[in-house]
């Protein structure tokens, strides 16, 4: 215990140094801080959060869409564009199925390699399995670290599968949903309620047949949506990501949305809902660990046997479990 505490204290003392290094553009500082947030003890994570609190806000731009729609290619193009504006840019690629698609992440790394020597760029991928699954891993805390490290823009790439794309919208200031012709995307998008989370819609692979039709379908669907007069109306941008055709239009749409967020007070509101989601994620994660923990002398299995045999009812069992777990919810 003593040795462990010493290590924790040393790590905590290092945090300001790591932050200084990260702000000066040293990747190792940023990488180490994120590792502390991902793998550190509760005390360490808390110390990082304290050190990062109150930092400037970055523009957090979430990009989501089906596998292969071109998210990484678009991220790459945006990365260059924001660097041209002299902004420090971080990329956080959250991979929901990392044991199976390690190859895709590796591919992304290689594709982004030509940015590797630029101190104004930091690229990280992160598995989404973890505390709660979905995006509710260390991603929200990592976003705070990246802001504290002085990044102006964070590009958050997540594959759009069910809950994850909703999560990305929860933690981004601006959500970009990509669709592409020939993937049946636009119809699926409408079904999945993706249109509701999109601040900007991108029809990627605009160099392919069918792109204008997809854009027209999306426009029709958006026209049907009921939006109050002062609400944001998501623009539809056609993009051929590798060639960069449509990139200026995409940047323009992102700038417009950023201006709108600030002008309407929505930026503050989104930050508050992001914080609410983060608090909820942390609290639920803790409750979940306490519920499935074995230290409190009551296990779900033991209660289940009693419920199955009719000795107690399931409500009483849940009460007992919550009562025992509640005491253990302290991190």
Site residues for ligand GTP per CB under 6 A: 65, 67-73, 104, 159, 204-205, 207-208, 240-242
For residue 235, the Cα-to-chain-centroid distance in whole angstroms is 22
Site string for Mg ion, 20-59 (x = CB under 5 A): ----------------------------------------
- Edge-to-edge strands, sheet with 59-65: 121-127, 89-95, 153-159, 59-65, 174-179, 200-203, 236-238
Closest separation in Å from C-beta 313 to ligand GTP? 46
Question: In angstroms, what is the minimal distance from the CB of 169 to Mg ion?
Answer: 18
Min CB(120)–ligand GTP separation in Å = 22
Beta carbon of residue 78, minimum distance to ligand GTP (angstroms, whole number): 12
Query: How far is residue 257's CA from residue 159's CA, in Å, rounded to a whole number?
Result: 22
CA distance 298 to 303: 7
Q: Map the footprint of Mg ion across residues 135-154, applying CB under 5 A.
A: none
Cβ atoms of 195 and 232 within 8 Å: the answer is no
- Least separation in angstroms between residue 103's CB and ligand GTP is 9
Which residue's CB is nearer to ligand GTP, number 11 or number 72? Answer: 72
Q: Which is nearer to Mg ion, 76 or 174 (CB)?
A: 76
Residue 205 CB, nearest distance to ligand GTP (Å)? Answer: 4
Q: How far is the CB of 97 from ligand GTP (least distance, A)?
A: 10
Of 25 and 244, nearer to ligand GTP (C-beta) is: 244
Q: Is 274 in the site for Mg ion (CB under 5 A)?
A: no
Q: Which residue number, 160 or 235, has a Cβ lying nearer to ligand GTP? A: 160
| Residue 321 contacts residue 298 (beta carbons within 8 Å) | yes
182 binds, among ligand GTP, Mg ion, none (CB under 5 to 8 A by kind): none
Tally of CB atoms within 10 A around 40: 18
Q: What is the largest CA-CA distance in the chain?
A: 69
Are 193 and 223 within 8 A, CB to CB? no
In whole angstroms, how far apart are CA 52 and each of 16, 59, 142, 178? Answer: 9, 16, 10, 32
Interface positions, 60-79, toward Mg ion (CB under 5 A) = 71-72
- Residues binding Mg ion: number (CB under 5 A): 2
Which of residues 139 and 261 has its CB atom nearest to Mg ion in the complex?
Answer: 139
Among residues 38 and 157, whose Cβ is nearest to Mg ion?
A: 157
**Contact (CB, 8 A) for 203 and 237:** yes
Rounded distance between C-alpha atoms, residue 295 and residue 105, angstroms: 38
In the chain, DSSP finds a helix count (H) and a strand count (E) of: 14, 7
* Positions in the binding site for Mg ion (CB under 5 A): 71-72
């Amino acid at each position: 215990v003593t040795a462990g505490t010493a290590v924790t204290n040393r790590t905590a003392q290092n945090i300001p140094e790591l932050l200084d290094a990260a702000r000066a553009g040293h990747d190792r500082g940023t990488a180490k801080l994120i590792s502390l947030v991902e793998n550190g003890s509760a005390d360490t994570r808390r110390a990082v959060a304290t050190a990062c609190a109150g930092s400037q806000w970055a523009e957090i731009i979430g990009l989501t869409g089906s596998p292969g729609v071109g998210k990484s290619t678009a991220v790459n193009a945006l990365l260059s564009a924001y660097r041209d504006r002299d902004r420090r840019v971080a990329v956080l690629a959250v991979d929901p199925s990392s044991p199976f698609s390690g190859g895709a992440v590796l591919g992304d790394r290689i594709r982004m390699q030509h940015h590797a020597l630029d101190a104004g760029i930091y690229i990280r991928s992160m598995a989404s399995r973890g505390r709660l699954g979905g995006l509710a891993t260390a991603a929200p805390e990592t976003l705070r670290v990246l802001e504290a490290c002085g990044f102006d823009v964070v590009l958050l790439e997540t594959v759009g599968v069910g809950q994850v794309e909703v999560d990305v919208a929860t933690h981004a200031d601006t959500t970009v949903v990509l669709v592409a012709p020939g993937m049946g995307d636009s119809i699926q998008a409408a079904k999945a309620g993706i249109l509701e989370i999109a601040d900007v819609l991108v029809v990627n692979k605009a160099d392919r047949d069918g792109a204008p039709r997809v854009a027209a379908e999306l426009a029709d669907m958006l026209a049907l949506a009921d939006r109050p007069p002062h609400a944001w109306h998501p623009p539809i941008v056609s993009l051929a990501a590798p060639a960069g055709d449509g990139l200026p239009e995409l940047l323009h749409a992102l700038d417009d949305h950023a201006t709108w967020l600030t002008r309407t007070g929505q930026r503050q509101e989104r930050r508050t809902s992001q914080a609410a989601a983060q608090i909820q994620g942390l609290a639920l994660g803790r409750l979940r660990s306490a519920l499935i923990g074995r230290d409190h002398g009551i296990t779900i299995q033991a209660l289940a046997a009693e419920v199955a045999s009719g000795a107690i009812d399931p409500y009483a069992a849940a009460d007992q479990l919550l009562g025992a777990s509640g005491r253990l919810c302290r991190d």
